[in-house]
Chains A and B, each alone.
Chain A
Amino acid sequence: MELLQPSSLAEIDGGLAIHGGTEVVPLLRDGILEADRLVDIRGVVPRGVDGNTIGAGTTLAELEAGTTIPAALREACTLAASPQLRNMSSLGGNLLQSTRCWYWRLDYPCRLHGGDRCHAREGEHREHAIFANDYCASAHPSDIAAALLALGARVRTTKRELPLEELYRLPDEANRAVVTLEPGELILELELPQVEASTYLKAMDRKRWSFPQVGVAAARVGGEVRIALAGVAPIPWLLGPDGLDAATPLPRTAWKVQVARALVARATSQLA
C-alpha cells in the first residue's frame, strides 16, 4: 500500500482519501475498505474557522473550543467520541463516517454492502433506525451531521456547493451509497447561516465515548426552528412536520422514539 501526501488538490489522482484516520484505518484493518493507495489530504483541505466558514479539515477538538461556533455544533463535538479521537478526527471525515450497525461492521453481506437483505431487521437491532428503516435499518452515527443539518449548513466540495441535506441520500436497490459524493470529490468547507439559538442533546449509554442512541439538534435560523436527529435513520434525519409521529420503529427500537420525543421537547424549549 502506498501513502501519498499531496500539497495541492491538483496533484490528487485517485486513491482513498484519509484525514485523521480514526474511521478509515479501522475499516482498512477490518477489510471493509480496500485500497492500494492512500491519499493524506491534510495538506490540501482547508482547516480552521473563518467567520461563518469552517474548513473541512478542522478537528472536532478545535470546533468544541471555537468561540464563534454555534452551540449545537460545539456541544455535538464535545459529546462525540473521546478526547483522543476528537484531537485526530476532522469535520469532513466525521460527516462521511459509516454506520455503527454491527452487521455492516462485521461485513455481513447486507444491503449496504451490496447484498440482498438487512440482517438487522430480523436480527439484533436495538440500536437501529426508527425512520426510513424499510430497506436498511442502519443508524447514522454522526452527532456533528445532525447539528449542522439543524443549523442549515451548506457544503462546498471540489466540484459544487450544496445544502447539507443533499450530501446524504437513502440507499436503495439501484444505489447503496448514503452520500452523493462522486468518486474523488472532497468536502472542502462548510458554510453556516446566522444562527439565533441552537442546542444539541444526546442520549448515550455511558457518559463519554458513546455513539448517539438518539441525538437531537435544534436551531432557530431566521425565525424558523429546524430539528435534526442522529442515530435514528440510515442518514442524518431532518425532522418533518409530523415529527416523531412519522417514526416506524422496529420491535426493539420503539424505546428510541420515546427518548427522541423527550429530547426534542427539551431541545425545542431550550431555544425559547
Chain B
Amino acid sequence: MARLIRTEKEVEGRFEEVWLVVEEDPLTQWPAGPLTVVGHDARRQDAPERVRGEARFTADIQLPGMLHTAVLRSPYAHARVRSIDFTKALALPGVRGALGPGEAKGLEEEAGFAGAPVAAVAADTFGQAQAALAAAEVDWEELEAVLDPEDAVARELFTAPSARYERGDFDRALAEADVVVEGTYRTSVVLHNSMETHQAICEWVGDTLNVYISTQYIWGVRDAVSKELGIPGDKVRVVCEYMGGGFGSKNGPDEYTFVAAELAKRTGRPVRCALTRREENTAAGNRNATLQKLTVGAKNDGTIVALGGEFINAVGWSGWSAMTEGPTQMLYACENVRTVRHGAKINTPPMKAFRAPGFVEGTFSLECLIDELAAKLELDPLELRRRNYADSNDDKPFSSKNLMQCYELAQKHWDRRDEVRARSTDTWKHGVGMASQIWFGGGGPPSYAWIRATSDGRFTVVTAMQDIGTGTRTAMALIAAEELGVSLDRVEVVLGDSARGPYATLSAGSSTTPSVGPAVRAAAADAKRQILEIAAQRYDTEERVLDIKNGIVVSDDGNVSTPLEDLLGILEDAQILGKGGRGPNPTGMSVLTFGVQVVEVAVDVETGEIRVERVAAAHDVGRIINALGARSQVEGGIIQGIGHTLSEQRLLDPETGRVLTTTLDAYRMPTIADVPEIVCEFVDEPDAHLTNLGSKGLGEPPIVPLAAAVANAIRDATGADVHELPISREEMLRALDAAKKKEKRGAPAAV
C-alpha cells in the first residue's frame, strides 16, 4: 500500500523536507555475501553492442531532415546584448531559423560569463549554422566583471546565503588543545569532459515533443521541458538509451534542449543542438575551485578536540554551493566543530555537480590536515584516524558504518610502507599515504519498476531510469534474476525512454542502485508471487512450499520440479505483470558511504615529477550487486581522481575571463599510461536498515579520498606539504623548496 510521509530528501549532499508517497517495503533482505548471481562478477549485458559500435548514443542519432544548431556565446565575462540583427545571417544558404535572447530558456540578454549562450541559429549543416552566427550583428554592452572569488566574498556577492555551522564550543576547545595545526588549501576548476558532449535532438510529432538527449535524468528532462513549454508531461517523450558520460553535469535539460525544441517548432524539422568540444570545456559546467582554511586542535594522545574551517566555493555565474565543509563536520568524532561556507558569485562559467561535489574538495583539505597533525604528534596516520572514529553523525546514528573494517582491509597495504620507502634513491623518493572517505549514496524514494513474464519463461524489467555508463542496466537485471531464481540471460532491462516505463530517479548522487534496485527487487518478488500462485494451482499444492531455483519451479518435498518455461507456457498470450516501488529510507538515521584508499607514489625531487604507482581501495557501500561492475566503478573513480590530482586544470585568462584550456591537449586528463596498479576490496555487508537490498551507491565514493591520499603519500616520500590541486610540477617544486627551508631552520621534517 502506498503511504504518505514527511521526510528529508538528500541529493548530492543537499537536503530538503518533502511530502513523499512511498511504497511499503515488506521484503526481508537477502543474507549477506554473494548469492546466486548478485555479488558475483557479471559482464555488462550490453557489452557486445557497445564493442560492436551498435549501441545508439544521442550523438549517433540522425533524423530525416534534421537541422543543426550553432550557439552564439558571449566573448565577455559580463555583458548585455543590446540588440542582435540576424538579417544577413538568415539570408545565408541553408539557414532556417534564429533565436535571440529570451526566445528559448537559457538564451539570456545578460551574459554572466565568457561563453554564456545568448542566441542560436539552425541550418542544414553545422558549418552553415556557424557561418550564420559569424554574420549575426550583435551590439554588446560590456559590464563590470568580478573574477576573483575572494573579491566576491569581500563584496558579499554570493550565490546563496553563507552556511554557518557550530557544535560545542570551538574557540574554547581550540584554546585548550595541546597541539594546533592550520592549513590553507586550494583546489582548481576541473571539467567533466564527458566523451559525449552535451546535446539534444528535438522533434515534434503532432503535439508530442520527442527529446533525444544525453542525460542523467530522463524523467527530470521530461518534467522541466513540459513545464517550460507549458505542455502536459505525457506529451514530452525523453529518450536516452546509451549515454557517453555525465559525471553530474547532465542532470537537467539546459539551453541546448530548449533551443532545439523551439527551433524544431519554428522550422517544423527535427533539430540537433550539440556542444562542440570547445564549448564543452567552456560552458558545460565544472567542479568549482575552492579556497579552504582549516584548523584542527588535538590532545597529545591524538584526540581531536576542535575542528574548524572557512570554505569559499568559487561557484561562478550559476550553480550551487556544494557542502565542502561536509567531511570536516562528519568524518571524525569531534565535539567542537565550527564551519562557514561561502558561495562566491563570479563571472566565470557555471558550477555543476561533479562526482561527489564539495566532498572531493573538502576531503582533500581535511585529510591532508589530519596527516599534518599526525606528523606533528608523531603518530601513525591510520592510528590517529582510528582514535577519532565517529560512532554517529552529529548525534544521528548511522544506518550502517563499516569504516573500521575498511581500515582492517587497508592495513596490509598500509604495512607496505617500509618496503616502499626503501625503494627511494637520491632523486626518486617513494612513500605511502592514505585518506578516508565519507559521502552520501543512500538514494531514496520514489522509483518504480515493472516486470513482465512471458510464456517463454523470459522476463522484461521496464523502468524509466537511464544507464549513464556505469552498468546499472546489468545491476538491475542481476537483482531481478536473483529474486526470480533465474539465470541472468533470461532477464532483459528496458530503460532510457520516459514513455515506456514508470518513474525512476536520476543517475546522480550515487543513488541509482540504492533507489531503483529495491523497486526492481519488489517488482520481481511480485511477479514471482504470481507465478507461484499459478504453479500452486497447476500442481495442486500450496504456494509456501514452492520456489523457483535456477529457472525450475520446485517444491520443498521434491514432488514439483518443472522448468519455468513449461509452467509459463500455459500462459500463451496471458502475461504476468509484477510491479514494485522503492520503500522509504530509515527514519532518523544517517545513510552514508565510507572507505579508505592507500596510495603509493614516487616523486622525482629534482624535476617535480609525480608517479602514482599503486592505489588500494577499500569501500563500504553495503551489499555489492555486481562485483565486476563495482571494481570498474572504483577504477574509474581513481583514474578520474588522478586527473584532478595531477594534471587537470581549467585555466582562465585573468584579464578577459575566457577559458584558455578548451581542447584536450591543453586540458589534460590521464591517459591509460598514467593508470597505476589498482586493488579494490569491499566490505560487502548489507545495510540492515536500508531497503530490501541493503545496497548503497558506489558512483562517487572512489573519487573522494584519492587526492588527499596522493598528497599524504608525497609527504611520506619527501616531507613536503602540498596544499594545492592539481599538484603540478610547479606546486611540487614549491612544496619541496618550502620543506627544505623548514629543515634548514631546524624544524624536523614530517615523518
Contact = CB atoms under 8 A, between A and B. Distances in A.
25 contacts: A82-B671, A100-B666, A102-B660, A102-B661, A102-B666, A103-B660, A105-B666, A119-B653, A119-B655, A122-B655, A123-B654, A124-B652, A205-B646, A205-B729, A206-B668, A206-B674, A208-B673, A209-B665, A255-B608, A255-B729, A255-B730, A258-B607, A259-B607, A262-B607, A263-B607
A205 B733 contact: no
Interface in A80-110: 82, 100, 102-103, 105-106
Given A123-B653, A207-B674, 8 more contacts: A119-B653, A119-B655, A123-B654, A124-B660, A205-B646, A255-B608, A258-B608, A259-B729
Contacts of A106: 658, 660, 662
B606 A211 contact: no
A213 interface: yes
B676 to A, nearest CB: 11
10 nearest A-B pairs in the assembled complex, by CB-CB distance: A262-B606, A102-B660, A207-B673, A255-B730, A208-B673, A208-B671, A205-B647, A259-B607, A262-B607, A206-B647
A242 B608 CA distance: 24
B196 interface: no
Interface string A32-47: 0000000000000000
A259 B608 CA distance: 8
Nearest to A81: B665
Interface string B644-678: 00110001111100101111011010110110000
Contact of B730 (A103, A105, A252): A252
Nearest to A265: B606
B660 A207 contact: no
A268 interface: no
Contacts of A252: 730
B729 A203 contact: yes
Nearest to B654: A123
A207 B604 CA distance: 14
A126 interface: yes
A209 B607 contact: no
A153 B237 CA distance: 64
A207 B613 CA distance: 12
B609 interface: yes
Contacts of A210: 668
Interface string B707-751: 000000000000000000000111001100000000000000000
Nearest to A201: B607
Contacts of A124: 651-654, 660
Contacts of A105: 663, 666
Interface residues of B, number: 29
B654 A203 contact: no
Nearest to B611: A207
A207 B671 contact: yes
Interface of B: 604, 606-609, 646-647, 651-655, 658, 660-663, 665-666, 668, 670-671, 673-674, 728-730, 733-734
Contacts of A263: 607
A24 to B, nearest CB: 16
A100 B606 contact: no
Contacts of B662: 102, 106
A203 B730 CA distance: 12
A203 B733 CA distance: 13
A205 B731 CA distance: 12
A192 to B, nearest CB: 28
A205 B665 contact: no
Contacts of A203: 607, 609, 729
Which of B651, B653, B670: most chain A CB closer than 10 A?
B653
A102 B651 contact: yes
Interface residues of A, number: 26
Dominant secondary structure of chain A at its interface with chain B: loop
Interface in A244-272: 252, 255, 258-259, 262-263
Nearest to A254: B730
Nearest to B660: A102
A258 B733 contact: yes
Which of A82, A252, A259: most chain B CB closer than 10 A?
A259
Contacts of B660: 102-103, 106, 124
A252 B654 CA distance: 14
A206 B670 contact: yes
A123 B607 CA distance: 24
Nearest to B652: A124
A206 B610 CA distance: 9
A205 B610 CA distance: 9
B671 A213 contact: no
Contacts of B674: 206-208
Contacts of B661: 102
Which of A205, A207, A211, A258: most chain B CB closer than 10 A?
A205
B646 A206 contact: yes
Contacts of B647: 205-206
B665 A100 contact: yes
Contact of B728 (A82, A123, A205, A211): A205
Nearest to A85: B665
Contacts of B653: 103, 119, 123-124
Contacts of B665: 100, 209, 211
A126 B730 contact: yes
Contacts of B668: 205-206, 210
A241 to B, nearest CB: 23
Interface in A42-93: 82
A262 B732 CA distance: 15
Contacts of A211: 665
Nearest to A262: B606
Interface in A196-217: 203, 205-211, 213
Contacts of B607: 203, 258-259, 262-263
A262 B427 CA distance: 10
A106 B604 CA distance: 33
A102 B278 CA distance: 13
Contacts of A123: 653-655
Contacts of B606: 258, 262
A93 B66 CA distance: 38
B713 to A, nearest CB: 18
A216 to B, nearest CB: 10
Contacts of A207: 671, 673-674
B729 A213 contact: yes
A17 B734 CA distance: 44
Contacts of B728: 126, 205
Nearest to A260: B607
A207 B665 CA distance: 13
A106 B661 CA distance: 9
A263 B662 CA distance: 30
B388 to A, nearest CB: 35
A263 B606 CA distance: 9
Contacts of A208: 671, 673-674
A267 to B, nearest CB: 12
Contact of A255 (B651, B655, B658, B733): B733
A207 B651 CA distance: 21
B323 to A, nearest CB: 30
B542 to A, nearest CB: 65
A167 B728 CA distance: 33
A247 B730 CA distance: 17
A252 B729 CA distance: 12
Which of A103, A105, A123, A255: most chain B CB closer than 10 A?
A255
A258 B652 CA distance: 25
A1 to B, nearest CB: 12
A211 B660 CA distance: 16
B259 to A, nearest CB: 23
Nearest to A261: B606
B702 to A, nearest CB: 20
A36 to B, nearest CB: 16
A208 B661 CA distance: 18
Interface string A111-149: 000000001001110100000000000000000000000
Contacts of B604: 262
A235 B153 CA distance: 43
